[in-house]
Amino acid sequence: MLFKADALPYKFDALEPYFDAKTMEIHYEKHYKGYISKLNDAKAGTEIDELESMHAIWERYSTLPSDLQTKVNKFGGGYTNHYMFWMMLSPEENQKPSGKLKQSIDRDFGSYDAFKSEFSSKAAGLFGSGWAWLVWKDGKFTVQTTANQEFIGRDGVSSPYLALDVWEHAYYLKYQNKRPDYIEAFFNIINWNWISEMFEEYNK
Ligand code: MN3
């Protein structure tokens, strides 16, 4: 059972000028596909080789031998995180959370702007490579970060509703060392319409 890259729901240049086409192309073609190929190699011949989704692999994660866990964490995390990241971006600019999602963000952070400020500062402050997340757990939103490709939902109880890749490969061509500028740009192209629908669906 070989995993394949999911098609991007927009073109590489669709997120310009916020995310440039060259970065999107390298990120998708080289980094994202690289994680999938390494995951396929890592799971070949193991107990998870016949599982048909990352969801099924994460459900088994805690029972796996530690060397396989390490590989799933790196490459399965790279696959899962990037898939979420692609889906949470949209060429339709300047969307905002709506419905239950907006209500919950307002309740847990005070306002959208307060949420954005906390998310941006934690993403900017993350040392080295990793991800920043808006996470729903036990009926409450928080902002969390993870190192390298660790998937925040690996514990089975944390549900990510926003994912931001803060590895340098995600922004260095356009933004060089200015990670805060990349984070600010990201907030223009978040697919809040889809995220709001997803939140509504999972919290009926
Ligand atoms: Mn990346």
What pLDDT digit, counting tens, does each position of 118-154 carry?
Answer: 999 999 999 999 999 999 999 999 999 999 999 999 9
Every domain range in the chain assigned CATH 1.10.287.990? 21-87
- At 103, the amino acid letter reads Q
pTM of the full structure: 0.96
Backbone angles phi, psi at 91, to 5 degrees: -70, -15
Measured in Å, residue 167 CA sits from the centre of ligand 1 at 6
pLDDT value for 204: 87
Residue ranges for the chain with pLDDT beneath 50: none
Measured in Å, residue 36 CA sits from the centre of ligand 1 at 12
Measured in Å, residue 54 CA sits from the centre of ligand 1 at 17
DSSP H/E element including 160: strand 159-165
CATH number of 21-87: 1.10.287.990
Instruction: Give the separation between CA 71 and CA 76, rounded to whole angstroms.
Output: 7
Measured in Å, residue 27 CA sits from the centre of ligand 1 at 6
Measured in Å, residue 183 CA sits from the centre of ligand 1 at 14
Measured in Å, residue 99 CA sits from the centre of ligand 1 at 30
pLDDT value for 196: 98
Measured in Å, residue 104 CA sits from the centre of ligand 1 at 28
Measured in Å, residue 162 CA sits from the centre of ligand 1 at 14
Q: Which fold has domain 99-202?
A: minor pseudopilin epsh fold (3.55.40)
Every domain range in the chain assigned CATH 3.55.40.20? 99-202
Measured in Å, residue 199 CA sits from the centre of ligand 1 at 24
